[in-house]
Structure 1
């Protein structure tokens, strides 16, 4: 039989049966609108041949929408009650055996995922959205693309270009893996409970060729952290502790990387940050 989706009344009934009250601690806001979860899946261009990983499936509304396409899903859920109930919900709604795998774990600690997923689709908890994304991109190089729903401010940062007001450390680190784009907005009224923030959909695709080695990534991210840790300062000052201990020594490294010592972090692209890391002392990032 075809996969059917959860309705608002059924979601509330499921939560009551499990004695689950959405908590701010876990960033839980459940989507109760079928059109919205289908919109997310369409934005991610999920097809029947895709292997998808979902973070924070909750009661399963987005999970079922992904499975409706015929794709296979590995869902990572930190709440033991929700993780235990999800397979039964899927079976009740027409999901064929073997299409869903549930991993009962903290997404920030997961190091392996069954099924070698290529696509990430998720309604990410607001409080850990950026750390989860960066962890999954770092840990699972097989993930090629994805769409996530996040708080509007977070999504705008992830997709921001150098020089914009919202460009910051998350923007630069996300760009290490490939391009990001805003793909849609989501009304706060489709959530239960209704959050006090707006949400957006953010899409990404991983570059076909890795930008650099893991050591290069760590070194580059160390430069990014230092640059935005004191974002109001010029780079020669913000990076002085990282690049030789003085503004003068930092200026030498910056100039050798083709970056103005008087620039600020928000003006630099990921290429610039990587260039600084390559020109930096060998001790950086260890």
Structure 2
């Protein structure tokens, strides 16, 4: 069983490395062992799961994820942290340390080939606030083996990711995540468990991969981007540039069975896929 890190241990490791959390990399380290334990439990890992953790930092969450998992891929962009993590895990994780594989890489660009085998089945991470959405979407696209995930993100981002059609927070992140997975809020995380303490609240988002809608993902994502770029406009107007003209947009929408007077925030991901498909045959 891994020995979890408390606030004093985390600061001591950081001090020995000469590491101070940076805003540039969005680093806010979790220093509360109970929170780490709760996140690991909420991830519902099985002994067969291969975890990919983004931004392991000083290793507090890593140590909680190793015991229940078969293997852990840790993707860390900071070279000092990537270099130090194996030793921290060796000291605190006992036999479970053998499950760790560290990748010094940018999670927004890392490839399936770089991660290698065993292929990840679960994403569990305390994600930097400024890149949370693109990281989740990139990894779901790049790693088809991912079946589920639990990520800690800024509370407002969590709301956007899980928002249903018709809600005020529904937008591009909501629809694009829905292409890959069903999602839900899985709890709140108070500010005081981080070092340094952020100016925003955090939340947990759990997701489970599902079959995507019929159609082309890239084409559908272009429709989504266009629809929400001018979200106050009806789809006839918002999709005018994408379609070639307002009249052409109306023709495509009618063909897809969507009202030209509807707005993007009213549509689910399957309806966006229908619009993309209708353009191909218009």
Same fold by TM-score, threshold 0.5 exceeded?
Answer: yes
Pair 1:128–1:5, CA change in 2 (3 A):
same
TM-score (norm 1): 0.94
Looking at structure 2, the residues matched to 10 and 282 of structure 1 have their Cα atoms a distance apart, in angstroms, of 61
Residue of structure 2 equivalent to 1:143: 146
Please say if residues 67 and 95 of structure 1, whose CA atoms lie closer than 8 Å, have aligned partners that are also in contact. Answer: no
Residue of structure 2 equivalent to 1:171: 174
1:8-157 mapped onto 2 (5 Å cutoff):
8-96=7-95, 97-112=97-112, 113-114=115-116, 115-157=118-160
TM-score (norm 2): 0.96
Looking at structure 1, the residues matched to 69 and 146 of structure 2 have their Cα atoms a distance apart, in angstroms, of 19
Residue of structure 2 equivalent to 1:190: 193
Output one character per residue of 1:171-222: Cα deviation in whole Å (capped at 9) or x when no partner. Answer: 0000000211001000000000000000000000001x34346xx0000000
CA displacement at 1:94 relative to structure 2: 2.6
Q: Does 1:274 align with 2:273?
A: yes
- Aligned-residue CA RMSD in angstroms? 1.3
Off by >2 Å, runs of 4+ in structure 1: 68-71, 94-98, 209-213
CA displacement at 1:17 relative to structure 2: 0.9
**1:98 match: secondary structure:** helix
User: Please, which runs of 5 or more residues in structure 2 have no aligned partner?
Assistant: none
Please say if residues 172 and 224 of structure 1, whose CA atoms lie closer than 8 Å, have aligned partners that are also in contact. Answer: yes
Residue of structure 2 equivalent to 1:203: 206
CA displacement at 1:282 relative to structure 2: 6.5
The count of residues paired between Structure 1 and Structure 2 equals 278
